[in-house]
């Protein structure tokens, strides 16, 4: 179960209701709530660095966190002392924190909005004058042709 997923509220409520109403699994409810609270505390301490990380285990002394790739792990590793200190102040018994790189959640890539480039009329007229003003040499021929083509398509 992932505690920091986008639909966390619905999933967490559904899971806790399931655990609460099932006699055999009701004993797991305190452990699930404890892990959810630890996940939230970690996210509060390091909101941006912890957004793609999850708690793998917290049995015994070391807290084991998953990271989606080595670069996130390297960035998070620099902030582990701060995280450990803050969690100890909140009352968590943490002797150490280990990182484990494993792809658990897809990192979303923001959609790049395509926009149409517009050259104002003054710019098109300037390119037209430049294509006429350039010396018609063999070296300038491709540039002159490109400028004339640009002017033709923009008018």
Q: What is the pLDDT of residues 16-32, one digit of tens each?
A: 677 677 777 777 778 77
The pTM of the whole model exceeds 0.75: no
pLDDT below 70 — which residues of the chain? 1-16, 19, 60-61, 103-109
In whole angstroms, give the CA distance from residue 14 to residue 20: 10
User: 27 phi and psi, to 5 degrees?
Assistant: -70, -20
pLDDT tens for each residue of 130-150: 999 999 999 999 999 999 999
Helix %, strand %, coil % of the chain (to 5): 50, 10, 40
């Amino acid at each position: 179960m992932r505690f920091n997923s986008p639909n966390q509220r619905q999933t967490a409520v559904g899971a806790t209701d399931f655990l609460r109403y099932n006699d055999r699994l009701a004993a797991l409810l305190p452990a699930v709530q404890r892990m959810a609270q630890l996940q939230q505390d970690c996210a509060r301490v390091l909101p941006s660095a912890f957004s793609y990380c999850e708690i793998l285990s917290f049995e015994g002394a070391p807290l084991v966190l998953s990271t989606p790739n080595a670069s996130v792990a390297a960035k998070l590793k620099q902030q582990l002392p701060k995280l450990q200190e803050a969690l100890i102040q909140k009352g968590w018994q943490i002797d150490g924190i280990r990182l484990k790189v494993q792809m658990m959640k897809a990192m979303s890539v923001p959609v790049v909005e395509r926009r149409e480039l517009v050259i104002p009329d003054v710019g098109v007229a300037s390119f037209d004058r430049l294509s006429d003003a350039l010396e018609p040499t063999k070296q300038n021929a491709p540039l002159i042709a490109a400028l004339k083509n640009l002017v033709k398509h923009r008018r």
